[in-house]
Amino acid sequence: MNNSPEEKNLFDDLPEVSDNATDMKKPELLEQPPLGNDKTDWSDFELIEELVGSEAAWKIAEAFAGSTIYISKNILTNRTYHDIRKKFRSGSSYRELSGEYGYTETHIRNIIHKK
């Protein structure tokens, strides 16, 4: 490298550092909110906790943290249909099931025979 007087040294603009550590200014830390002072809405979690218990609620939280869970209404319909088939196998009649679930007897027959 040629250090002729016309060339500017890259380090000329840097401030000189003293050997005395007390001359150095300590960098300021960014302000962090205190832990536990977040704006989390706990109402959904508390409802889940009431429904399934604390341990199961925390397992669900660990498994799905950061995700959005969508539960289709079809799952309830499928559960109802499952219950209808189970009760029919246990001896309930089409008419009894029709009255209990509010479906026509034809619809109950279709559910049981999976049409």
Q: What is the pLDDT of residues 70-106, one digit of tens each?
A: 888 888 889 999 999 999 999 999 999 999 999 999 9
Model confidence pLDDT, tens digit, residues 26-70? 556 566 555 565 666 788 889 999 999 999 999 999 999 889 888
For residue 102, count other CB atoms closer than 10 A to its CB.
8
Spans of all domains in the chain: 42-71, 74-112
Give Cβ neighbours of residue 49 (< 8 Å, ≥ 6 apart).
Answer: 57
Q: How far apart are CA 50 and CA 58, in angstroms?
A: 12
pLDDT tops 80 at residue 1: no
pTM over 0.85, yes/no? no
